[in-house]
């Protein structure tokens, strides 16, 4: 990806390790390996349903799920539910990030702000996001605001603590260089501190997304926002109420696909920035150098 010499170097390094494995699974490209595995799992699933003669009110075949999935996208119920969930999630994370930014500035500038953040984080961060849902419902009523509150609360703490740590652990020498070349305080923050803290910021956003995502689905399962406009959690719960099991599965598949999609976006973001700059090493998992 970067210099012309590194692929050659990588080959030279990995060649002796790979030689014993002449032909086999490992030689296939990553996308093919994972596609084959997925196909095998779906095959097993289909075989289980066909051979065991399971109750269709409890378990759906891949075929039925695929049909429900396609129907759901055709008639707009799944896209609508997805859009609702993603919209509320994005808004909630946005609010969370904003509050986190204020807390971070406060914590970076003052000792009391720092102490406050440490205290609040250690109390509220371990709290599962949905745990505050009953309170949120009491305070905001049965509406989107309650959801936003729950999501924001789930995302503020991982973002704030990571970004604060990122700023605090910036190498003092690089800050000194910034001041030495004549940067103003404002540009020192935007041009040196912010990029230097980026690995932590991305970690914070990743954690926030993971927390927020799980929280919103759980919250939507507990209560669906007004009928037609419910999110994916509501879609699943609703399908369950009417015993449309393939739809329950289709909702789960959608959630899984979205999850993979978000992870991919973060992966690309990281590869373009912190990995490229050598500020974070590439994780050793998922397909090695083929990607």
Partner 1 sequence: MASTLDNVSRTREQPANGSRSTGEPLLSVEHVRLGYWTPAGFNLAVGDVSFEVQRRERIIVIGPSGCGKSTLLKAIAGFISPAGGEISVAGRTAPPPGPDRAVVFQEFDQLFAWRTVLDNVAYPLRVNRRRRADATASARQFLELTGLGHAADRYPHQLSGGMKQRVAIARALALEPAILLMDEPFGSLDALTRARLQGELNAILDRTHTTLLFVTHSIDEALVLGDRVVVLGNAPSTVQELVDVRDVGAPDSAAYADMRRRLRRLLANKGEEVDENAVFV
Chain residues in the site for partner 1 (CB under 8 A): 2-3, 6, 171, 173-174, 176-177, 179-183, 187, 192, 195-196, 198, 273, 276-279
- Coil vs helix vs strand at 225: coil
Beta carbon of residue 278, minimum distance to partner 1 (angstroms, whole number): 3
Q: How far apart are CA 98 and CA 110, in angstroms?
A: 18
Residue 198 or 225 having the CB closest to partner 1:
198
Residue 105 or 279 having the CB closest to partner 1:
279
Query: Position of tokens 């930014």?
Result: 101
Residue 7 or 29 having the CB closest to partner 1:
7
Residue 12 or 23 having the CB closest to partner 1:
12
Beta carbon of residue 168, minimum distance to partner 1 (angstroms, whole number): 16
Beta carbon of residue 161, minimum distance to partner 1 (angstroms, whole number): 23
Closest Cα partner for 249 from 259, 258, 239, 260? 239
Residue 8 or 243 having the CB closest to partner 1:
8
Tokens representing 165? 């740590």
Beta carbon of residue 93, minimum distance to partner 1 (angstroms, whole number): 24
Please answer whether residues 77 and 235 qualify as being in contact, where contact means their C-beta atoms are separated by less than 8 angstroms: yes
Residue 3 or 55 having the CB closest to partner 1:
3
Please answer whether residues 195 and 174 qualify as being in contact, where contact means their C-beta atoms are separated by less than 8 angstroms: no
Beta carbon of residue 273, minimum distance to partner 1 (angstroms, whole number): 7
Closest Cα partner for 160 from 111, 110, 116, 127? 116
Beta carbon of residue 3, minimum distance to partner 1 (angstroms, whole number): 6
Please answer whether residues 276 and 2 qualify as being in contact, where contact means their C-beta atoms are separated by less than 8 angstroms: yes
Task: Give residues with Cβ within 8 angstroms of 77, minimum separation 6.
Answer: 235
The packing angle between helices 62-75 and 77-109, to 10°, is 80
Beta carbon of residue 180, minimum distance to partner 1 (angstroms, whole number): 5
Q: How far apart are CA 85 and CA 262, in angstroms?
A: 14
Residue 20 or 172 having the CB closest to partner 1:
172
Query: Position of tokens 């204020």?
Result: 102
């Amino acid at each position: 990806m970067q210099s012309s010499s590194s692929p050659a170097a990588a080959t030279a390094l990995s060649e002796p390790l790979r030689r014993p494995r002449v032909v086999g699974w490992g030689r296939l490209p990553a996308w093919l390996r994972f596609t084959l595995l997925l196909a095998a799992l779906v095959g097993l699933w289909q075989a289980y349903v066909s051979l065991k003669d399971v109750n269709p009110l409890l378990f759906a075949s891949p075929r039925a799920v695929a049909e429900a999935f396609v129907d759901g996208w055709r008639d707009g119920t799944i896209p609508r539910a997805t859009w609702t969930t993603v919209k509320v999630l994005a808004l909630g994370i946005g609010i969370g990030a904003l509050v986190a930014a204020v807390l971070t500035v406060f914590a970076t500038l003052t000792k009391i702000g720092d102490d406050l953040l440490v205290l609040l984080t250690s109390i509220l961060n371990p709290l599962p996001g949905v745990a505050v849902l009953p309170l949120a419902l009491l305070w905001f009523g049965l509406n989107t605001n309650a959801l936003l509150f729950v999501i924001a609360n789930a995302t503020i703490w991982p973002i704030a603590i990571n970004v604060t740590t990122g700023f605090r652990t910036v190498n003092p020498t690089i800050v000194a260089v910034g001041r030495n070349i004549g940067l103003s305080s404002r540009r020192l923050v935007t041009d040196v501190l912010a990029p230097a803290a980026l690995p932590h910021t991305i970690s914070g956003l990743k954690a926030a997304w993971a927390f927020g995502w799980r929280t919103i689905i759980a919250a939507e399962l507990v209560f669906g926002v007004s009928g037609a406009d419910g999110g994916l959690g509501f879609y699943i719960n609703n399908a369950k109420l009417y015993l449309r099991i393939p739809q329950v599965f289709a909702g789960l598949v959608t959630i899984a696909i979205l999850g993979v999609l978000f992870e991919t976006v973060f992966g690309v973001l990281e590869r373009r920035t912190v990995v490229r700059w050598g500020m974070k090493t590439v994780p050793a998992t998922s397909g090695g150098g083929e990607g």
